[in-house]
Amino acid sequence: MAHSSERLDHLLSRLGYCSRSEVRDLLREGRVSVDGMPLRKAATKVDPATVQIDEEPLDHPYPLYVLYHKPLGKVCAHDDPRAIYQDFPPRWRYRRPSFSSVGRLDRETSGVLLLTDDGDWLHRWTSPRYEIPRQYRVTLQNPLQGHEAGILASGTLLLEGEHSPCKAAEMIPLGTTELQLTLHEGRYHEVRRMFAALDNLVLSLHREAFGPFTLDDLAPGQWRELSEIERQMES
């Protein structure tokens, strides 16, 4: 894909490498080049695909789309020492628009998480309108009693403090205290609150899939950028 030209100082600032005023320091140090030739002026218009810093190509100049295996103990807030963003290049925190998670997983939940700096794409995957399926592996404190699947599938379960019932969910028992659960909405701490309403306690929670996205062989804390085909997939 052909890239449009952009002022060097605007480009590096937008991608989080440095402030616009700091670009001149990089140029004086000879760290910025185009096609192997050092650049001297911050106002030079460049094709992002040809620019290198410290002999390394720039990050993707257009929106990032990332699949991440969120580990336990990390949170989705930007300003927390346990933030997931520590697992990504530090400069990504300063990209404009901001690089953010598509929805959230709490500190005690692991699994599939998407991140992007494309606001329209983020909205597409979080909007209740699309009822994106979210598949979880759940371990409970107490054994299943046999009635849970029917209640969850009925679409009548009302959580504490809520005025509308949960959307129907599909549950597949995997053992006496383990199950697979697929939701079609993303309420706050929904899985934990559902089983609290059923007089049980969630001991572990792992999101195995979000829409068509699965972790495959990604280890906790690892990530990869989505391909163009993956970005265009539907739920």
Tell me the catalytic residues.
Answer: 106
CA angle 167-171-174, nearest 5°? 160
- Sign of the C-alpha dihedral, residues 88, 91, 96, 98? positive
- Residue 90 CA: distances (Å) to CA of 16, 29, 87, 94, 138: 8, 21, 8, 8, 33
3-state DSSP percent of the chain in helix, strand and coil, to 5: 25, 25, 50
Residues belonging to the chain: 235
